[in-house]
Structure 1
Amino acid sequence: MSFKRIALFLTLLLAVFRLLAANYRIAGTVIDRKSREPIEFVNVLVMGLGIGGTTDASGNFEIRNVPPGIYSLQASLIGYKTAVTPEYRVNHITPHIFIEMDEEAAALDMVTVTASPFRRVAESPVSLRIIGMQEIEKAPGANRDISRVVQNYPGVAFSPIGYRNDLIVRGGGPSENRFYLDGVEIPNINHFSTQGASGGPVGLIDADLIRNVNFYSGAFPANRGNALSSVLDFSLRDGDMEHNSIKATLGASEVSLSSNGHFGERTSYLVSVRQSYLQMLFKVLGLPFLPAYTDASFKVKTRFNPQNELTVLGLGGIDRMKLNLGIDGEDAEYMLSYLPKIEQETFTLGGVYRHYAGNHVQTVTLSHSYLNNRNLKYLNNDESSEENLTLNLRSVEQETKLRLENTSAWNVWKLNFGLELGQSHYTNTTYQKIFTDQMHLSDYHTSLNLLRWGLFASMNYISSDESFTASLGLRADANNYSDRMKELWRQMSPRLSVSYRLLDGLFLSGHVGLYYQLPQYTALGFKGNEGQYVNRDLDYTSVSQESIGLTWNPNETMEVSVEGFYKLYRNMPLSVTDGIPLSCKGNDYGVIGNEELVSKAQGRSYGVEMMFKWLLTNRLNLSSSFTLFKSEFRSGNEGSYLPSAWDNRFILNVSGTYNFPKNWSVGMKVCCIGGSPYTPYDTDKSSLVEAWNAQGKPYFDYSRYNSERLPAFGQLDVRIDKTFYLKKYMLGFYIDIQNITGSKLRQQDVLMSTGQIANPSAPSAEQRYVMKSIRQESGTVLPTLGITFEY
């Protein structure tokens, strides 16, 4: 076919799309949050368009001739607080939208309505960011992976290497984060997660199911425990009660199929299944590991009546990571020398029951989580002899959790309180060759049962004119691992937040709090070769956090904020072997925590964050942030602080997406991060044959921990989208190019064995390999073509 015929065909196709395209309708219902009764005469506007409708006696509204796109709605009525909804996509299957409104604390004669996408929360007036649908869908360089979207925000470092999703928030480690899905806690949000931490190469949650995300980098709510650095609270979409639809997506690393709709008049559903082809992408890139995964998720919600509803959800994944033994090159040779084969299965099932009783809402949340992790490694990847076996780990973590919660609201006051109960079962069978000063074998089996319990309460006050807010919270946690951990009062976690409006649109806010986290199951269940639990004396890790910030909203579309923070860690688990805190580990594949530890390390992280956001509905989403900080630790109560593994010193992100006419959009992201500190290698120890064969990589000289620093790194990502909205279909295309300039990240040169023994006549314990140095530099242009089709 000639070029002219192809051009003619595409022109005719675009003309057909234009003829078939149409504007759409939005329909929904507005109810009183307390009484659950419909509200009449509510004005409902599409933000950014100035068009809207009014509710009838049944609380229903309808807005016609709405251009396709992603919008929020604003609902207003005298006597009620103005409500702004999360973002919804308007197309041929726009869902029926439910809006809940709260009565004003006092009757007002006149009301001035100002719609704003920036929400303020009494319990977290600082350190809270709300991420909407448009940002999740179109963030440049993120490929619809929420972990990468979060990296646009202040205080969040990113992995310059590009194939890890570790969340490093305000100088804290990747093991210090917690995740919730519609109120159900999930252990991690990544495939191939590092056991004992949270990172991996790709996200576990399908972006098609997410409505929005509350990202807390501090000031955590009292009902969200066991976190030191961040909490990600996901809100999933509800299934559509008017239509049944199917959506297919071909993305960066997987193909997905999702559906949403309803069963009968009371029950809605969401379901998603994804299959990866990440192993093919990694093979093309010449990476030494080939990950493949499958995941599935669902949500079913039943409204029995206006006062009672039940949500059941599930999330699961199957992961298989093979080694790419067929590639050449020193970089690949090095990584293949230590990377294990990994097999994982993980799932979480949960149910949330809510009862609305006027001023009070009771919630019961029950969930069960499961992780089965297996790591296998042979010397030189030679499986022909069991004598070459260096690592065989089989570990299962299971958690069953129950949370009972009540929320009550009276005018300017809001009270939340509840309790949590949990039962954990952890098993581990490990065979591992370890070299410290000499070779020894770690060979043990663990079966650990743990009971956990906690109490929480918070009281919020919001003045009638919303110029002042205050929140006082308290939480306490305990478990039966040791006599010390049983004492609930030792883990008392108070917190206080206040916010005051200095001028119109200008707020001064602050927060102080104390938080606790239980050590990882891998640490609690670690045993010596004699069968004893080695880490019985471990304690909860604590961090006190203080933050103060100014937020200015010059108008309803812009926000400028400056926030300072200080975090002080105590009782951090410290490795007896190398003298490094566990929090400085976890950004590589495998397991952390399975070693002898003592709760003696201290740490601190402090800095300042600046952010500017500009949101124009269905036109512009611009976000820029700069963080200047330090992250340090020391091994006891005295001595000098050393840089932690996450002490990058500064992070800069500028990300924006602009929507052009005819449903084109272009996004760009510029990111820059300071150089990471690194530790020189212990050449003498690394060259020992026994030492190298035990772990297949060099050993660090911890007496010079993080005494060197890499150069800074920056990259540019670009994304282009085109969406066709038809009467019964939606078809979208996008191209996302990460690191379009091909920037190179300079990493620490690797010390590696040549496989040649320098002194073969020496005793085996004294034999050494001839070593070589490999220059480490990474960074490649990574283009991705994505296609979405929704019917």
Structure 2
Amino acid sequence: MKKILITLFCLGVGWSWSQTGTLKGKVIDKQSEKPLESAQIALLNVQGFETTTDANGSFMLTGVPLGRQMLSVQALGYASVTLPNLEITAGKELILTIPLTEQLTTLNEVVVKNETSKGRALNKMATVSARQFTVEEVNRYAGGRSDVARLVANFAGVSAANDSRNDIVVRGNSPAGMLWRIEGVPVPSPNHFATLGTTGSPVSALNPNMLANSDFLTSAFPAEYGNAISGVFDLNFRKGNADRYEFMAGVGAYPGAEFVAEGPLGKKGGSFLVAARYGIAGYLGGAGTGAAIPNYNDVSFHLDFGKLASGSWSLFGIGGLSNINFLGKDATDDDLFSAKDSNQYVDSQFSVLGVSHKIYVGPQTFWKTTLAWATSGNRYEEERIYNFNTPNALNLPFTLNDNQDQRYTVSTFINSKVNKKTTLKAGILGEYFSLDYSLDDRNRQPDTNLDGYPDFNRIYLSKGNYQVIQPYAQLQYRFTNRLTLNAGIHGQYFSINEQSVVEPRAALTFAMNSRHSLNFGYGMHHQNVPAPILFQNSQVPGQPQQPNRHLDLVRSQHWVLGYDVKLAPQWRGKIELYYQAIDRAAVERSPSSYSSLTEGADFGYSTDKINLVSQGRGYNAGVEFTLEKFFSKGYHALITTSLFESKYRGSDGLWYNSPFNNRYVVNVLGGKEFKVGANQKNTLSFDGKVTTSGGRFYTPVDLVASQQAGYEITQDDKAYSLQYEAYFRLDLRVGYKFNSTKKKQSHLIYLEVQNVTDNNNIFISRYNRVTNQVNRVDQIGRFPDFGYRFQF
């Protein structure tokens, strides 16, 4: 490895002396999304690079020196914007979409100049508990594994002290409370090895190379988002380069082998973007399980057909497949997923296909409609070896879980900029779900046929369909340049229980001056109980019953108070206080510690929770701190701290710790770049990340009862009364980027070591039926990650 790095460094020094790049994009009105003509574009740190936008709002600067550049954008009557630290490379043109906000002041008054901030969401209606993230961050931050879900774990309010899964835990909520959206429509969990009702997994199926800047929201989100109570991940696909063909080929430990192609499509300014990946992590020992090799691959695409007479049309999609076999002969006692006395076979798939249409129906009004189809499925088979390690060993089917669901979605809305002060957005989202769920299991089943083994019983079987309809309307009213109100109403109809709800949302932002701002937000949100709980069968003779179908939508109310301060030209600080009250959660009719709020952070759900009632409660409260140094002067930094409490109440009337109640999370990230090469156009970078958090609470195992039963039995009267020790992890990364002088090519190579200190972070303490003891299982230890990308 040392020789390879030295060779690449020398090549980079020799290739760096004369190459340039291209910077282009579009300038639009932030509220109406109309292109702005005659906006002035200029590089601030290099003389002679100026232009204006054309009638389509487009601009292009060619021959731009490589490296970090600063761009100024100005338009008459709009607040000007400065975009610092834009990275120009030889292998790929940089394409931007730059929104400008119209000023309310008259033209002879001074126009305020702002610098863009990733702390502000792209969605103009999202002003509290919202954060923009960039693809650059996914590829730059240490420990990210090219996974957008792991990236947002660095943000305040998010905890993910689990190396084996990318579940997003927002402010102590279950990850099942998350809403994933792609191109404006809800989608199932966009992950490999995902299971019914969950929103995370070991490996993401989202290719970062496909993504444009997107939004992550953690509470009190605008009225257009629904059927979620914890957070929203609103992802956008970028467009391909409409002027020239570009390609990227690479390999990395976690993303695997990957290839990206993009270029012009048709004669109307259209473009295509296609990306494919094949996973190799299992072959490198990064899967966290014995000799089992995870196989996963995915393909994504985005076709933009340009500006047609009928409007703008685009087609997008993702397809992912994954499978893994856990064989008992390969398992160890400290294996994260497998066991010596069982053979397990896992298959999963995830697909999304959508078409979008956008047309202007007035000077400042557009209508956008998206139709989408999505499907997800997983099949899990387990064969248990009874009388293990004896002459009477017998292999019997133990679990067969086969879940398939499809959803058909239509989203349509109208966005109108009424005037400088007022913007309206109203629409409706309709989802039609078709499901086919089945679970046969011996786990915790009686032996009614007296053959000495638990019966193989049907736990649930459900085929059918249901609908979720969500109308909404929201308004942004700018009283002044400093005071903005976002308010709206969201409705939701759930056909299973025929329940309709109306949810008010509001957020107020006040910029006290150019450095300080206050914001307040309130939102009411509802979400249905996870499908595996909702459609569970009762074990009664005759026709199977599903007594949980009547459960109400879980209700959550959010209150947020935030303060933002610009500490220096590229330094930002933020504090948010929040309180979330949850009611109508599912709990057992008889007194117990169970609540549906504890579900969703594993590969499956409880299979014995029937006859539930909507009488559970919970709350999350905390304070979050963010200190961020946006990239400038060769370095960046991000420090986030979350202090919180997460509790729930069961039907026994007692309050318990949520299993997601870490109580504190601290992230410290930073990086430094050094310009190298003859003309200082290549980059040597160092990045690091330190994460620590309180351990999760867990329910102690009743060892004697477990030994007698042969499976794990927990002390549910002491639910989540014990806490694992604190989590700690240090990741370090070094990268080298260089550009060819002869062709439009660039190269990036990086080496990363995750969990540098080889800290023994606990994964779980569980009953081991083979050893007949409670064993500790640790998470993945020190692991090297690497990657190489070639853009041309």
- Cα separation, 1, equivalents of 2:425 and 2:664: 37
1:361 aligns with 2:366: yes
Deviation per CA, 1:481-534, whole angstroms, max 9, x where unpaired? Answer: 124x2xx2xx11111111112343111111111100022222333223432222
Q: Does structure 2 retain, via aligned residues, the 8 Å contact 1:91–1:730? A: yes
5 Å-filtered alignment, 1:722-737, equals 722-726=736-740, 727-737=743-753
Deviation per CA, 1:134-182, whole angstroms, max 9, x where unpaired? Answer: 212111111221111101001111134x121011110000101011122
Aligned partner of 2:113: which letter? V
Compared CA separation, residues 202 and 503, structure 1 to 2 (3 A): same
Match of 1:352 among 356, 359, 364: 356
- Counterpart for residue 250 of structure 1: 251
1:698 aligns with 2:712: yes
Deviation per CA, 1:6-61, whole angstroms, max 9, x where unpaired? Answer: 99976763443234x51223234546675956512x22244776874121665554
Deviation per CA, 1:329-387, whole angstroms, max 9, x where unpaired? Answer: 32239842578421111101111211123221111111111012111111139999997
1:640 aligns with 2:654: yes
- Counterpart for residue 164 of structure 2: 163
1:94 aligns with 2:93: yes
5 Å-filtered alignment, 1:116-515, equals 116-117=116-117, 118-119=119-120, 123-160=125-162, 162-253=163-254, 254-266=256-268, 267-282=270-285, 287=290, 289-305=292-308, 308-327=311-330, 329-332=332-335, 335-336=338-339, 337=341, 340-356=344-360, 357-380=362-385, 388-409=396-417, 410-435=419-444, 441-464=457-480, 466-483=481-498, 485=499, 488=500, 491-515=501-525
Return the offset for 1:614. 0.8
Return the offset for 1:111. 2.1
Structure 2 spans left out of the alignment, 5+ residues: 448-453, 677-682
5 Å-filtered alignment, 1:446-595, equals 446-464=462-480, 466-483=481-498, 485=499, 488=500, 491-529=501-539, 530-574=543-587, 579-591=593-605, 595=609
Compared CA separation, residues 534 and 48, structure 1 to 2 (3 A): farther
- Cα separation, 1, equivalents of 2:142 and 2:563: 28
5 Å-filtered alignment, 1:658-677, equals 658-662=672-676, 663-677=683-697
- Cα separation, 2, equivalents of 1:381 and 1:375: 19
Q: Does structure 2 retain, via aligned residues, the 8 Å contact 1:602–1:633? A: yes
Q: Does structure 2 retain, via aligned residues, the 8 Å contact 1:633–1:644? A: yes
SS in 1 for 2:330: coil
Aligned partner of 2:16: which letter? R
Q: Does structure 2 retain, via aligned residues, the 8 Å contact 1:452–1:480? A: yes
Compared CA separation, residues 603 and 288, structure 1 to 2 (3 A): farther
Q: Does structure 1 retain, via aligned residues, the 8 Å contact 2:328–2:338? A: no
715-724 or 440-449, which moves further after superposition?
Answer: 440-449
More helix by share: 1
Return the offset for 1:437. 8.2
Return the offset for 1:287. 3.3
SS in 1 for 2:640: strand
Compared CA separation, residues 387 and 774, structure 1 to 2 (3 A): closer
590-599 or 268-277, which moves further after superposition?
Answer: 590-599
- Cα separation, 2, equivalents of 1:180 and 1:618: 35
- Counterpart for residue 753 of structure 1: 769
Match of 1:743 among 759, 763, 783: 759
- Cα separation, 2, equivalents of 1:17 and 1:122: 43
- Cα separation, 2, equivalents of 1:35 and 1:444: 48
Question: Taking structure 1 as the reference length, what is the TM-score of the superposition?
Answer: 0.89
Return the offset for 1:244. 0.8
Compared CA separation, residues 71 and 196, structure 1 to 2 (3 A): farther
1:44 aligns with 2:41: yes
Aligned partner of 1:513: which letter? G
- The percent identity for this pair of structures is 22
Structure 1 spans left out of the alignment, 5+ residues: 756-770
- Counterpart for residue 113 of structure 1: 113
- Counterpart for residue 759 of structure 1: none
Aligned partner of 1:467: which letter? R
- Counterpart for residue 773 of structure 2: 772
Q: Does structure 2 retain, via aligned residues, the 8 Å contact 1:87–1:211? A: no
Return the offset for 1:202. 1.3
Q: Does structure 1 retain, via aligned residues, the 8 Å contact 2:291–2:331? A: no
Q: Does structure 1 retain, via aligned residues, the 8 Å contact 2:487–2:505? A: yes
Deviation per CA, 1:300-332, whole angstroms, max 9, x where unpaired? Answer: 112234882112110121110211434353223
- Cα separation, 1, equivalents of 2:355 and 2:70: 28
Aligned partner of 1:54: which letter? T
- Cα separation, 2, equivalents of 1:69 and 1:271: 27
Q: Does structure 2 retain, via aligned residues, the 8 Å contact 1:123–1:219? A: no
Compared CA separation, residues 734 and 306, structure 1 to 2 (3 A): farther
Aligned partner of 1:395: which letter? N
- Cα separation, 2, equivalents of 1:661 and 1:35: 37
Deviation per CA, 1:83-116, whole angstroms, max 9, x where unpaired? Answer: 5679965333315545454543343213242323
Q: Does structure 1 retain, via aligned residues, the 8 Å contact 2:164–2:288? A: no
- Cα separation, 1, equivalents of 2:336 and 2:298: 31
SS in 2 for 1:211: coil
- Cα separation, 1, equivalents of 2:25 and 2:648: 53
Return the offset for 1:587. 2.2
Aligned partner of 1:449: which letter? N
- Counterpart for residue 450 of structure 2: none
- Cα separation, 2, equivalents of 1:114 and 1:406: 29
RMSD across aligned C-alpha pairs, in angstroms?
Answer: 3.0
- Tell me the matched-pair count: 757
- Cα separation, 1, equivalents of 2:50 and 2:479: 30
1:680 aligns with 2:700: yes
- Cα separation, 2, equivalents of 1:497 and 1:284: 43
245-254 or 509-518, which moves further after superposition?
Answer: 245-254
Return the offset for 1:544. 0.6
Aligned partner of 1:400: which letter? Y
- Cα separation, 2, equivalents of 1:249 and 1:545: 43
222-231 or 104-113, which moves further after superposition?
Answer: 104-113
- Counterpart for residue 782 of structure 1: 783
Q: Does structure 2 retain, via aligned residues, the 8 Å contact 1:39–1:57? A: yes
- Cα separation, 2, equivalents of 1:531 and 1:370: 26
Return the offset for 1:65. 4.5
Return the offset for 1:243. 1.0
- Cα separation, 1, equivalents of 2:252 and 2:8: 23
Compared CA separation, residues 738 and 358, structure 1 to 2 (3 A): same
Deviation per CA, 1:604-649, whole angstroms, max 9, x where unpaired? Answer: 110000001111348333111000001110114x733110100111
Aligned partner of 2:712: which letter? P
Aligned partner of 1:25: which letter? T
534-543 or 83-92, which moves further after superposition?
Answer: 83-92
Q: Does structure 2 retain, via aligned residues, the 8 Å contact 1:127–1:219? A: yes
Aligned partner of 2:507: which letter? S
Compared CA separation, residues 36 and 476, structure 1 to 2 (3 A): closer
Q: Does structure 2 retain, via aligned residues, the 8 Å contact 1:239–1:262? A: yes
Q: Does structure 2 retain, via aligned residues, the 8 Å contact 1:582–1:592? A: no
